[in-house]
Structure 1
Amino acid sequence: MAEKHGDTPRFTDNVLEWALVIVNSIAAVLIATTLFFSRVSVDGESMENTLFDGDKLVISWFLYQPENGDIVICDSKALGKLIVKRVIAVGGQEVTVDYKSGTVSVDGEVLDEPYLKYHALDDMGVYDMTYYDPEREVFEYDVPEGEVFLMGDNRDHSSDSRVFGAVSENDIIGKAVYRFHSDEAKTGFVS
């Protein structure tokens, strides 16, 4: 009987140790996600068919530097709200949008964009603002250093850098890394 009584404190110690490990692990995950990640909802159809209105995203912002092809969340001064767009070009690069052929080039290289919802870039009635001129067949833009050129994947329904120009890297909130809720698509990593 003395053995069983002697084993009880050891069992209790093990349970307490495991409970402490679990609590510390949960706390570490919560702290890490709070410090290095945020959540945001997609508002509108400008990123269809990649992202949909109402999708919930996890974004990474810690030490983030924008790169071509990234899906980012931007604090748009021109639109007065957070927007979700794709980085087409970064500072020092030249963007060419050919409305007749429906192509976008960066530094002379036509982008392969299988994620686009529509390829028609010639009938965009919403683009009557600063940078889009419907009389032009080709739109060229040199992206200033420290800025990025953004476009929505649903080109026919996106107010983006074709409308308001490049945006400062300082206005980029972070990169979309994971869709954790969607009524239209599967959850998972986004690209």
Structure 2
Amino acid sequence: MEIDEIKKKVLEDVDPQLRSQKKKEMRRARLVISLQFLALAAVILLVFYLMMGFSTVTGNSMYPTLHDTDIVAYSRLGKEYKPGDVIVFKRSDGEEFVKRVVAVAGDTVNIQLGKVYVNGEEAKFKGTLGKTSRTGNCIEYPVVVEDKEVFVLGDNREISEDSREFGAVKNNDIKGRIIWYLGRL
């Protein structure tokens, strides 16, 4: 330290007015930094809320792709879905589901002999388990997926509750497409 800096420091320690002024400046600087941090946090949360979301996988219907209690991040951007996309959607009872899109608007879905057929061709997706059987009594096959709807199945076909039971999912009920997942907690 130079002599002038040492003198200034000693004066600040001894002179009550200088000490009070320095404390005010420090408080003001802390307040400005705190407000900037809060503003940045608010912007990040707003952007996150508008663009992304988190959900938790419940059950083993998406095994082996996803496991019970896996945390998934989904993108709220883009409302066009294609076969193979894994989505998060909310049913009318408020329950969230994570399932794979197997057919989109205009596609014809048929289930026979333990396999899924979309537009007459077998729909194969990496990581599916078990035979796909017709479940529930409300769906009559073949079924044509209506406009602004998708037909979804779980990857663990033998235990999944999906479009075979509750029908196609409306695009408005879809929260987003999974973009990333974190293993079990």
* TM-score normalised according to structure 2 size: 0.72
Corresponding residue pairs, total? 156
AA aligned to 1:121 is T
Q: Does 1:90 align with 2:104?
A: yes
Structure (1/2) with the larger helix percentage: 2
Deviations 1:74-103 (A, max 9, x none): 1112x54111111111111101112x2x22
After TM superposition, give the deviation of residue 29 of structure 1 in Å.
5.0
Distance in 2 between residues matched to 1:128 and 1:80, nearest whole Å:
20
Where does the alignment leave 5 or more consecutive residues of structure 1 unmatched?
6-18, 133-138, 184-191
Q: CA RMSD in A?
A: 2.7
Q: Does 1:47 align with 2:47?
A: no
1:61 is aligned to 2:73: no
User: Which residue number corresponds to residue 154 of structure 2?
Assistant: 152
* Structure with bigger gyration radius: 2
| Percentage of identical aligned residues | 32
Q: What is the rounded CA distance, in whole Å, between the counterparts of 2:51 and 2:136 in structure 1?
A: 38
Of residues 103, 113, 123, the one that matches 1:111 is 123
Q: TM (normalized to structure 1)?
A: 0.70
Aligned residue number for residue 9 of structure 2:
none
The letter for the 2-side match of 1:55 is D
Tell me the equivalent position of 1:121.
132
Q: Does 1:130 align with 2:138?
A: yes
Gaps of 5+ in 2: 6-32
